[in-house]
A and B are shown apart, each in its own frame.
Chain A
Amino acid sequence: MSDHNAPELNPTPGERFTKFLKRKDVLETLGWAVFYTTGFVILGGKFYTKWMPTMMSTDMRAIERLMVIFTWISAPVCGFVLSMATYTFRHGHRGDTPPEDGPATRTNRLGISLFGVMSSLLALVAILYGLIELNSSAEAATKDAPNAMVVEVTGSQWVWSFNYPAQGVTSNELMLPINKPVIFKIISEDVNHSFWPVQLGVKADANRYQTTTVQTKPNKLGAFDVKCAELCGLYHAYMETNGAVVTTADFNNWVTAQGGHTA
C-alpha cells in the first residue's frame, strides 16, 4: 500500500502510520474531511434554528436541540464519506477506454475494525442521547401531571374542537395559559387524525374510541398553529385552527367570556 519501494525491515505501527499520513492522497482526503465535517457542523447549527418555527415549549426546544446535535454527531460520518468520494472523483479517469487496474486490495482488517467500532459508537451515542431525552421528557411530564390542566381534543372530518372540562368551555380555538402544564386527551369521531400543535412540539393521533394522551407546558406567549398530521380524507389540508398561549389573566378572561368558570 505504500508508495515506496525501498525494502524496510518491519516498520513499527507508528512509523507506518506517519508514512500513511504523509501520502498525498491521504492529505488531500483529510483536507476534504475537515472541510465537510466543519460544513455540516455549521449547517447543523444553522438550518434547523433558521427554519423551524418559534419554540413555545420545553419539548419544542428539546427537539430543535436534538436535531442540531444529531447533525453534529453525523458530521464526521459525512466528512468521512464525502472526503473519500470527492478525492476519488477528482482523480477519476475520463475517456473511452477503461483505466488501469488499481491495487488488488480485498480487505483491510484494521480499516474495517476501526470503521465498525466508530460507526457503532456513533450509533450508540445517538441511541443513548435519544433514550435520555425520552426519559427526561417523561420525567418532566410525570412531575407536572398533578397540577396540569386537561383539554379534551376531538378530531372529526375536518375540524378540531377543544373541551376544557374543569372550566366548562368548548371552543374551536386552542387557548392555553402560559407556564401551566396541559394534558391533551385526544379522540376522534370518525377516521384517524393526528393532533399537531406545531410550535408546542408534541403530536398524537386521534383514534376512534381510544383516547391518546400527550402532555406539554407552553412557556412562551404568542399564537401557534394546530394542524392535522394524518391524512383523513377530502379536506385534510384544511383541518387546522388557531391556538394561542396567553397570560393566566387573559386565559381567565377568555374562559369567562366563553361562559365558563375559572377555578
Chain B
Amino acid sequence: MTTLDNRVSSRPIPNPSKSLITKLNAGTGLVVGIIFALGTYYLLNNNSSDDATVNFQHYNRTLLASMLMWSVGFLVGIGAFIGPWRWLIGKDLTAEEQLYLAGDGQGIKRYFKYCTDHKVVGIQYLVGVITMLAVGGTMAMMIRTNLAMPGGHFITASVYNSLVGLHGITMIIAMIIVATGPFGNFIMPIMIGAADMAFPRLNALSWWVLFTAIPVLCSAWFLGGIPTGWTAYAPLSIQAGPGMNAFLATIIIFAFSTAVAGANITATVVAMRAKGMSWNRVPIFVIGATISVALAVPAFPTFMLAMIQTALDRTFMTSFFDANFGGSGWLYAHLFWIMGHPEVYVILIPGVAILMEIVPVFVRKPLFSYTSAIVGFAGIAGLSVLVWAHHMYMSGWMPMLNGPFMVTTEMISIPTGLIFLVILGTLWNGKPWLKMPMLCVYAFLWNMLVGGITGLYLSDVPADNYLHGSMYVTAHFHYTLMGSALTGAVAGLVYWFPKMTGRMFNERSSYVAFWFIQLGFQVLYLGMFTAGAEGQPRRVVDYADTFHVSNMVSTIGAYGVGIGFIVLLWGVVHSWRHGIIAPMNPWGAKTLEWTVPYPVPLVNFDTPPVVTSDPYGYGKAVK
C-alpha cells in the first residue's frame, strides 16, 4: 500500500537512472534463462553409466533441472528478484523505481517488462490466453481432422497421443486463467474501486512465471511428445519418454504461478475494496473470481505434489506410484482428481460470474437473488472437493465408496440449479438487449443444461459402467468447459473490450463468430455424444467403421467452430487497431470500471470512489 502513496505523489517521472531495473526486460530474461538452462544441462549431462535405465533417469534429471532453471533464470533476467534482494539487504525499492516498475509513460515497452500495473498484467494475460487457445485449438483441429475417417492415417499414433495430451493441458491451463487472468487483473481491481492489486509485484510475478511455462510445454513436442493425455496416469507416465519431463515441469511452474495469483486476488478483494463496498455490494464477478481462486488454493498444490512425486519416480526411482516397486497408481489418481474435479469449477465459476455480471446490464433489471448466486457458487465449490472419486468408479480402488461419491456428485445439481435460477430470474419480465454478450448468456443456458444433464448420467455408477472412458465423457466436459466457461469468457471479452482497448468490438464479426462457434459446437458434440453412446473409447487415433458417421458429423462441426474462432480472432485484432472509439460507458452499466476513462489512469481513480449501493440498481420500482 505504501507503493500507492508513493505513486500518487506528483513526483516527475524519473529520468531512466543508472538503476539496473531500467535495463531489464523480457529480452534479458530470455538471455539469462537460456544461459541458466544450457548451463544446467551441460553441468549435469554426463551419461557415464552402462546401464540404460540409470542413464535414462539421469537424462530425466538433467532435463527437468534445466527446465526449472530456465524459469528461474528468466525471472532473474527480467528483474523479478531485485525487490526481494533489496529486502534481504535491509532496503526496498526507491519510490522512483517503484514508479518506474508501474510502467507509467513507457508505452508499449512496459508489456515486455516486469511491470506491476494490474492493467498491463491483464493485457499480458489476455494476449497469452488468446495465444494458448489458438495453439490448443489448432491441435484440436488436427485431432478432429484425423478422426474424420476411420483409418487414422493423417497423423501417426504417437503424434496423435501427444496431440491429445498437449491439447488437453494447453486448454486446461488457458481455461484456468481465461477469466481470472485478463479480467481478474485488468477489470476486477477497478470494479472494487482499488488503485491496484494488493501485491503489485506478485502480480507481475504470477504472469511472468506462467509465461516461462509456455516454452517448457512447447519443448515437449521436440522431446518426443507425451503419451499420457493430460491426466498423466502412472505408471504410463513413469514409462514415458523425455517429453514427459516438459509436462511435469510445466505443471510445477504453473501451480506456482496460480498460487501467487490466487493469494494476490484473494488479498485484493478482502483488503482493497472501496469505501462503502460491504460484502453485499461486491459485484458478482468479483465474488465468483474469488471463490474460484480460493478453490484453486488447495487444488493446484496437490497437482504440483503429484507431479513432483512422478518426477521423483522417474528420476530417482522412488516408488510413489510405480507398482513395480511397491507404489500405487491409485494414489496418483486420487491426487490428480482431488485437484481435477475442483479444477473444473475453478474454470467454470468465473465464466458463469461474468455472465451474471452481464445479464443485469443488458436486461436492465437487478441481478435476481444475489444471495442465491453466492450460495450457488459456494455450494458448488464446497461440494466439489468431495466428489473426486467419481472419476475412479471403475478403477477398482474401493467399489464400496462408489455409492457415497455418486450421492455427493449428484448433489452438485442443487447449487448448480441456483445458477440457472439467478440468470433466468433476471431475464424474466425483462427485455434483454440482444447484443453479442447477451447471446452468450443464452448459449450458456443451453450448453450448461446439456453439460449438466449428461454429467448426471456420468455421475451415476451403473451408467458410468458404460460411459466411462468413452467419447461421451469428452463431449460432456467440453459442454461444461468450452460451451459454458469459455462462452462466458468470450462474452466478457466483448463486454470489457471497450475498457481494455478503448475501442468497441467489431459487432458484425462478433455475431458471425458467435453463430459459427455455437452452432458448430452443437454439431461437433452431438456427433461426439453419439459416438460415445455407440461405444467409441476416447483418446483413440482410429476407430471401427461403425463410428464413421458420428465422427464425420463431429469433424464437420469442429470446422464450423474453427471458422468461428478465426473470425473472433480477426475481430479482436481488427477492433483493437481500427475499432470505433468507445465511450466511457457504452453499455450503460453501473459497476465502477465504467466510471473511469480510457486509458485508465495509473491509479485508476482520481479520487477514491465511495460506494453507496450494490451495482445492480436497474429497473423501475415495483409497486
Contact = CB atoms under 8 A, between A and B. Distances in A.
Interface of A: 1, 25, 47-48, 51-53, 59-60, 62-63, 66-67, 70-71, 74, 77-78, 80-82, 84-85, 88-89, 91-95, 98-108, 111-112, 115-116, 119-120, 122-123, 126-127, 130-131, 133-134, 137, 186, 190-192, 194, 196, 198-199, 201-205, 207-213, 225, 227-238
Given A85-B424, A100-B364, A103-B429, A48 B235 contact: no
A190 B329 CA distance: 11
B540 A198 contact: no
B537 interface: yes
Nearest to B417: A119
A225 B535 contact: yes
Contacts of B394: 194, 203-205, 229
B449 A237 contact: no
Nearest to B448: A81
B365 A102 contact: yes
Interface in B389-446: 394-396, 402-403, 406-407, 410-411, 413-414, 417-418, 420-421, 424-425, 427-434, 438, 442, 445-446
B622 A231 contact: no
B168 to A, nearest CB: 10
B497 interface: no
Contacts of A85: 424, 427, 442, 445-446
A119 B462 contact: no
A196 to B, nearest CB: 7
Interface in B207-246: 227-229, 231, 233, 235-236, 239
Interface string B445-469: 1100100010011011111011011
Given A105-B365, A233-B161, 13 more contacts: A52-B533, A89-B442, A98-B362, A102-B620, A112-B421, A115-B421, A116-B414, A137-B462, A202-B465, A207-B323, A225-B544, A230-B469, A236-B161
A236 B229 CA distance: 12
Contacts of B431: 88, 91-93, 99-100, 102
Contacts of B588: 98
7 contacts: A60-B466, A77-B453, A98-B364, A127-B410, A133-B462, A212-B396, A237-B152
Interface in B111-127: none
A158 B401 CA distance: 30
B395 A126 contact: no
Contacts of B544: 225
How many chain B residues sit at the interface, stated as a range, is 35 or more
B456 A74 contact: yes
Contacts of B323: 207-210
B413 A81 contact: no
A57 to B, nearest CB: 11
B535 A227 contact: yes
A231 B229 contact: yes
Contacts of B343: none
Interface in B358-405: 362-372, 394-396, 402-403
B463 A134 contact: no
Contacts of B541: 236-237
Interface in B608-623: 616-622
B532 to A, nearest CB: 9
Nearest to B229: A231
Contacts of B164: 231
B538 to A, nearest CB: 8
B433 A93 contact: yes
User: Which 5 residue pairs spanning A and B have beta carbons closest together?
Assistant: A104-B619, A229-B469, A212-B396, A237-B540, A119-B417
Given A51-B530, A233-B227, A71 B239 contact: no
Contacts of B446: 82, 85
Given A208-B329, A237-B540, A191 B235 contact: yes
B387 to A, nearest CB: 13
A61 B438 CA distance: 42
Interface of B: 152, 157-158, 161, 164, 227-229, 231, 233, 235-236, 239, 323-324, 329-330, 362-372, 394-396, 402-403, 406-407, 410-411, 413-414, 417-418, 420-421, 424-425, 427-434, 438, 442, 445-446, 449, 453, 456-457, 459-463, 465-466, 468-470, 530, 533-535, 537-544, 587-588, 616-622
Contact of A126 (B363, B410, B425, B619): B410
A74 to B, nearest CB: 5
Contacts of B427: 84-85, 88
Contacts of B227: 231, 233-234
B535 A53 contact: yes
A120 B616 CA distance: 28
Contacts of B363: 88, 99, 102
B390 to A, nearest CB: 11
A102 B394 CA distance: 51
B618 A81 contact: no
Contacts of B395: 205, 207, 212
B364 A99 contact: yes
Contacts of A101: 364-365, 618-620
Contacts of A93: 431-434
Contacts of A211: 396
B415 to A, nearest CB: 9
Contact of B433 (A52, A92, A209): A92
Contacts of A81: 420, 424, 445, 449
Contact of A201 (B233, B372, B465, B533): B465
A213 B395 CA distance: 10
Contacts of B453: 70-71, 74, 77-78
Contacts of B429: 1, 25, 102-103, 105
A78 B619 CA distance: 28
A108 to B, nearest CB: 7
A177 B173 CA distance: 49
B368 A190 contact: no
Contacts of B231: 231
B464 to A, nearest CB: 8
A142 to B, nearest CB: 13
A224 B438 CA distance: 48
A112 B418 CA distance: 9
